[in-house]
Structure 1
Amino acid sequence: MARFIAVRLGSLIVSLVVASILIFAVLRLLPGDPGSALLGPGTTVEQLEQLRNELGMNKSLASQYFDWIGSIFSGSTTAFISKLPVSELIVSKLNVTIPLSVGAFILSVLVSVPLGVIAGVYRNSFVGVAVSAISQLGLAIPVFWVGVILVWVFALNAGVLPAGGFPRQGWAEPGKAIESLILPVITVAVAMSSVMVRYVRSATLDVLDADYIRTARSLGYSRWGALARHGLRNGAVPVVAILGIELATSLLGAVVIENVFALPGLGSLLLQSVVSRDFPVVQSLVLLLTAVVLIMNFLIDLLQRAIDPRLRLSSVSGGGQR
């Protein structure tokens, strides 16, 4: 197990390094210049060169990359526009993005896991077919359209929830803050649940067709009793993988949906920074989101081996053969 953790940790570090290089390089390939975006039209060549020197844009690409990485470790990365520390900008937006992401994930788990199990157990009945059809419909509809529909129904027609925005006082007004997140949370949860229902259904079908479930049924267990006693742990292994991926994806989905609902989270910060060519903010934000996904995958691998002893035994036997 220790060897597996070391290998996966090394792979995680290499992946982060490669991701940082790609993020840095791709931004430099995009059209537009941060200096021109900052100074605006009518800028002279001398003014542009002076600003580029101040921003470090005239250095070699390698020097700019290592300056950025060094500033991340030292916590001194500064935005081009506001001149504020990037870490401070990101932290100030997390009070919107994290509740939105976590709330959507929890809601999607509470909905999709029971529905996925029901769709698997009653696969040949009307209920199972209906759940599967609804999940496919959820996959077909773009997530921003789900948000638009929810706004039209609950904000414009019913008038029971706000169409967008966030209280100026933030979580100092908890009631209004929660109300402003209800529709965005449901929007992200609908997209996530549509994916998760299908995976849970597939895992349930695999468990129900397993020999040990048939043996348990022959010993007198009901279908639900055999599934609860012998199937949950085996079915949890593939489900844990998709739950971990969806938790990371919920953060990415929240970033997109924030712009639909005009929420002042990481999504709005990222969009503003892209438009203004604020490279330090864009690079740091995209690297943060990438790191969340990679770290989540690393933790999923560890959790799967903790749940399923067969994975631990296979890694041990594989190490012995080598």
Structure 2
Amino acid sequence: MRRVSLGFLLLSAFASAELKAETVCGPVTVSATSGAPFQTEIENEVCSQINSKFQTGNLSSVLGYMARAYAVAAQGRVADYGSNMQVFSFGAATTLAVSNISVPTGYGDLEALGKRLSAQTVPDVGTGFSATATLGISLKTTTLRKRGWFDPKNLNIYASFFLLPSVSYQSYSIDALSGSLYLQYKLLQPRKVPFALVTWGGLDIGLGYTYSTTKFKVESTEKLATINFTSNGKNIVYEPTGSLSLAYTTHVIPLEVSTNVSLLYFLSLVVGAAADFHVLTNAELAANVSGAVKVDGTSTAGDYARFNTTETGKVSGVGFRMFAGPQFNIWKMRLFTLAHMTSDSTYGVTLGARFSW
């Protein structure tokens, strides 16, 4: 009976020691027995370093910024706002967007932004990128008749599609898919300004639907990052392996009003406003990261840190956006750029080219 009791006490002691050998902070679990007698302090510092490096306490807001940026990145690439095609148009465009940053006004702002972006593995700045190829058809040359206020000859129809199969480089991979349908109706017809070399392009209203998804992934069996610091006089090194993936998805219905002015034919200036109805727009981060914690170059089988989590940030409701930019007209070629700004401090730039007949 005494032996049974002693065995039970020893088992309980070992179990308690095992429970105390780990520190849990959010999605991070750390054990650093090589750091005894400073094990708890070192584990807490490892937790703090990982949380800072991977923004674990801030992931929901970061992913919200990511989703906002991707929602803007999916816009501005499809319709032709700067010219009045007569038959068809064909082209390609891409949009890059960022969220949760202020527009830099000087070198100091740029330097601060550079440090901010390089300080964390997952920065607290949203970024989004999307591209597509578009075919537009005008109904001007058809024999469709006017019905009341609606004239089919004032309608342009655009369809876009883009597919990027999984592309890998070293430990990084990316794949993307997008498709859009957009209807553009000319409410007011173009007019030339008398005694001037300026043409007003009229007033357009547009309604569309865009689906877009992009997934980035980094996976490594060597190391994803390096965390190196000193705690209680001991040098701690953590170089985890595993995977991090960021998946964007957006379903958005843009309602847009736009106009343009052409000067001497070769230059057009576009300005417009939009209400973007977000049916579903989100960004999801999946992390599966683990590795040995080395204390003064020593690591036992029980010295590790793990970071496993899935977080999602969403955009819901209606977002308001303004856009403007120049278009250069070279015969039937159109080289264009648009700057986007939203009511939630998200910014985007569209670059593209199209052939318009």
The normalised TM-score by structure 2 is 0.29
Bigger Rg, which one: 2
Flag the structure with higher helix content.
Answer: 1
Structure number with higher relative contact order (C-alpha < 8 Å, ≥ 6 residues apart): 1
